[in-house]
Amino acid sequence: MSTSLIVRRDLDFLLHDWLKIESLAAQQRHADLTRESVDAMLDLSEKLAREHFLTHYKRADVEEPRLDADGVHICPEVTQALRQYAEVGLFSAGFSPDLGGSGLPYLLTSASFAYFAAANVATSGYAMLTVANARLIVSFGSSAQIETFARPQIDGRWFGTMCLSEPQAGSSLGDVRTRAEPAGADELGERYRLTGNKMWISGGDQDASENIVHLVLAKVPGADGRLPEGTAGLSLFIVPKILPDGSRNDVGVAGLNHKMGYRGTANCLLNFGEHGGAIGWRVGQPGLGLMQMFQMMNEARIGVGLGAAALGYRGHRLSVTYARERLQGRAIGVRTGAPVPLIEHADVKRMLLAQKAYAEGALALCLYCAKLVDEEGNAGSAELLGLLTPVAKTWPSEYGLAANDIAIQIHGGYGYTRDFDVEQLLRDNRLNPIHEGTTGIQAIDLLGRKILRDSGRGMAELGRRMIDTTARSQGVPEFAPHAAALKRAVTQINDSLAPLRQQVANAAFDNATPFLWAFGHVVVAWLWLEQAVAARSLDVKTTDERTFIDGKLRACRYFFECELPKIDAWLGVVASRTDVASGAPPEIF
C-alpha cells in the first residue's frame, strides 16, 4: 500500500467527529452540505492530488522554471495538473453559485487543499494564489471587474498573483515605491499607469494559463508629484498581463529567483511600466490597499499554515512507512538475532510521536481556524480568528518544519539523499516561516494588534472555549492532569501579560517572539485536548478504530508531558522583561 498523503480517517475525524462540519448546513448558503457531499469532495481531492500532483513532485524541483524571450516556461506536468484542478471545479469550489462556484465552506476547501499541498506544495501554490486573488476582487471590486478579472480565475483559465513586496520593501510595505499615475477611466473603473519593480512574485509569469491577473499595491503621487509616506497611501490595482483588447500590458519579467525549495512555483522580479506604464484599474477606494489586503490576509495566512502542516504531515507519513520497513539494530543489550524495524526503537518512537503531535496538531489548528472563517458571523468567532491567525501562520510553519527535520533524521543517511522526498519537503517548508509575514512580524501582530491593543474579545472568547474544553474533559480521569495543566498554562500566559499591559509600548515587544512560541504551544495543547475528548467519545466498533483513538490519546499525552512544559522557559523570558537582546548594542556582534 502506498503512503497516505493525509490519513483519511484522520481527516474524517477532524471534519466530522470533532468540528462537526455538517452543522454548517444550518447556514443558508451551505444548506446542501451532507456527509456524502463532503466525502465526495475528499475522494476527488485525494485521487487528483495523488494522480496529478504527487507524480511530478521531484521533477518540478529539478526542472526549474526557465526564462527566455517569450517569458517563463514551467514544467508541463504542472500545467497539466492545474488543468485537471480546473476541470473538476476546484478553483471555483469555494465561490458562490452566482459566480460559477459550488459554495463549499472554507473548512471543506481547506481540507481538500491539504491533500494538494501534501502532494505538491509548489504546484498547488498557483491554485492558492489564483483563488485568493479572485476572492479579493470579488470582495472589493466592481461587478465589471469581477466579471472581467475574477470569473476567468474562478474558472481556472487565468491565474493570479499578489504583488506586494519590492526589492527594498519586504516586510515594510510602507516603503513601496511603485507609482500609479491616473490615466482616465473606463467601464472597468479608474485607470492608472503603473511603474515600479515587484519582488518575490510567485506565479509572476508562466505559460500555464491564458492570462495572469496581477493585484498590485502601489501609491498614487500627490499634487507635488511625490509619493505619500507610509502605508496609508497604498491602493490596490488590477494589472493583467494581457489587456482586454488582447494586447500585451507593459509588465516585464526582470528575472527568476532561484530558491532553496518551492522550486516548481516560478518566482519573479517583475518590472511594471518600462515602456510608458502598465495599465491597471483601481480596486475599491484609494488608500485602502493595505486594508483590503489585510482583510484577505487571515485566509492567506491560514493557507500558509495549512501548507506547512501538510508538508509536515506528509513527512510524518513517509517516516512511519520507512520506520516500519527499514530493519536496523536490535533492542538495547541484544546483540544477535534478526534486526528489528526502526519503529521498535524507543528513540524512533519518540521522534514519530513528536512528528504526529506536530503535524496532526498543526492540521487541527488550521482546520479549526478555517471553521472560524465559516462562522465569522457568530459572536466572538471573528475576534478569535483574528487572535489565532498569527498562531495558525507560525506554529505549523515552525513545527511542520520541525516534523520535516525529524523525517530526515528517521530516514538517516537515506533521508539526506534526493532519492527520498523528505529532504525536499524540508526545503519546501523552509519558506513558510518567511512569506506572508515572518515569525517575528506575526509575534508583534499577536502581542500588539491582537492582544495589547485589542478590546480583549479575542482572548475572552479563547478563554471561554478553553474552559468549555476542560469542563468536558473533567469527567475522564486520564484527562484531569491535562485540564489542570492547561489551566495553569493560561494563568501563566495572563500573568506574563500583566506587566506588559503597563509597560511603555516598544519594550513590551522585546520578547514578543518567545511569547508567541508559548502562546502557540498553549493553543495547540488545548486543541490536542479537544481532539482527545472527541476521540474518547467515539463508539469503538473495530480494532482499527481502537488503534486510531489510542493514537490520538497518546499524541495528546505526549504533547502535555513533553511539549507544554517548554512554555515555562519562554514565559520566564517574557515575565522577566529581560532586555538582554533588545538592549544589545549592535556593535557587539
Q: How far is the CB of 361 from a second copy (least distance, A)?
A: 15
Task: Give the count of beta carbons closer than 10 Å to the beta carbon of residue 107.
Answer: 26
444 scored as a contact of a second copy (CB under 8 A): yes
H or E, element range at 395: helix 381-415
Identified binder of a second copy from the candidate list 27, 328, 378, 474, rule CB under 8 A: 328
581 scored as a contact of a second copy (CB under 8 A): yes
- C-beta separation of 332 from 345 below 8 A: no
Footprint (CB under 8 A) of a second copy, residues 243-272: 257-261
- C-beta separation of 367 from 15 below 8 A: yes
- 28 or 453: CB nearest a second copy: 453
Q: How far is the CB of 398 from a second copy (least distance, A)?
A: 10
CA distance 42 to 107: 12
Each residue 338-357 as x (binds a second copy by CB under 8 A) or -, in order, gives: -x-x-xxxxxxxxxxx--x-
- C-beta separation of 507 from 581 below 8 A: no
Q: How far is the CB of 151 from a second copy (least distance, A)?
A: 32
What three-state secondary structure class fits 585? Answer: coil
- 81 or 129: CB nearest a second copy: 129
Q: 189 in the Ramachandran plot: left (φ > 0), alpha (ψ -120 to 50) or beta? A: left
Footprint (CB under 8 A) of a second copy, residues 132-191: 165, 168-172, 174-175
199 scored as a contact of a second copy (CB under 8 A): yes
407 scored as a contact of a second copy (CB under 8 A): no
Identified binder of a second copy from the candidate list 250, 421, 423, 461, rule CB under 8 A: 423
- 362 or 408: CB nearest a second copy: 408
Closest CA to 491 of 556, 561, 571, 558: 571
Footprint (CB under 8 A) of a second copy, residues 533-572: 547, 550-551, 554, 557-558, 561-562, 565-566, 568-569, 572
- 258 or 501: CB nearest a second copy: 258
Q: Is 245 buried (19+), middle (13-18) or exposed (0-12) by CB count in 10 A? A: exposed
Q: How far is the CB of 26 from a second copy (least distance, A)?
A: 35
412 scored as a contact of a second copy (CB under 8 A): yes
Q: Which stretch binds a second copy (CB under 8 A): 95-103, 149-157, 376-384, 580-588?
A: 580-588
Query: Could you tell me the sign of the dihedral formed by the alpha carbons of 199, 307, 130, 105, in that order?
Result: negative
105, β-bridge pairs: none
Q: Quote the DSSP letter at residue 175.
A: G
- C-beta separation of 13 from 32 below 8 A: no
- 244 or 339: CB nearest a second copy: 339
Identified binder of a second copy from the candidate list 513, 523, 530, 575, rule CB under 8 A: 513
- C-beta separation of 516 from 450 below 8 A: no
Q: Which stretch binds a second copy (CB under 8 A): 292-300, 380-388, 439-447, 455-463?
A: 439-447
23 scored as a contact of a second copy (CB under 8 A): no
The letter for the amino acid at 358 is Y
Footprint (CB under 8 A) of a second copy, residues 490-509: 505-506, 509
Identified binder of a second copy from the candidate list 102, 381, 438, 503, rule CB under 8 A: 438
Footprint (CB under 8 A) of a second copy, residues 99-128: none
- 377 or 583: CB nearest a second copy: 583
Q: How far is the CB of 320 from a second copy (least distance, A)?
A: 5
Contacts of 7 (CB under 8 A, 6+ apart): 317
Closest CA to 393 of 445, 317, 457, 463: 445
- 69 or 335: CB nearest a second copy: 335
CA distance 511 to 583: 12
CB-side exposure of 37: number of CA atoms within 13 Å? 16
Q: How far is the CB of 394 from a second copy (least distance, A)?
A: 12
- 153 or 429: CB nearest a second copy: 429
Count of residues near a second copy by CB under 8 A: 101
Identified binder of a second copy from the candidate list 97, 182, 222, 230, rule CB under 8 A: 230
The single residue listed with the C-alpha cell 495558525 is 392
- Chain-centroid distance of CA 200 in Å reads 17
Footprint (CB under 8 A) of a second copy, residues 364-393: none
- 58 or 157: CB nearest a second copy: 58
333 scored as a contact of a second copy (CB under 8 A): yes
- 440 or 463: CB nearest a second copy: 440
- 152 or 289: CB nearest a second copy: 289
Q: How far is the CB of 414 from a second copy (least distance, A)?
A: 8
- 172 or 474: CB nearest a second copy: 172
Identified binder of a second copy from the candidate list 461, 511, 515, 531, rule CB under 8 A: 511
CA distance 316 to 351: 9
Closest CA to 383 of 441, 435, 453, 437: 453
Q: How far is the CB of 144 from a second copy (least distance, A)?
A: 34
- C-beta separation of 241 from 214 below 8 A: yes
Contacts of 111 (CB under 8 A, 6+ apart): 11, 14, 15, 41, 42, 45, 367, 370
- 97 or 412: CB nearest a second copy: 412
240, β-bridge pairs: 213
Identified binder of a second copy from the candidate list 198, 301, 430, 482, rule CB under 8 A: 430
480 scored as a contact of a second copy (CB under 8 A): no
Q: Is 154 buried (19+), middle (13-18) or exposed (0-12) by CB count in 10 A? A: buried
59 scored as a contact of a second copy (CB under 8 A): no
- 434 or 476: CB nearest a second copy: 434
461 scored as a contact of a second copy (CB under 8 A): no
429 scored as a contact of a second copy (CB under 8 A): no
CA distance 233 to 262: 32
327 scored as a contact of a second copy (CB under 8 A): yes
Q: Quote the DSSP letter at residue 140.
A: H
CA distance 221 to 180: 7
255, β-bridge pairs: 269
Ordered alpha helix ranges (H), 326-380: 346-374
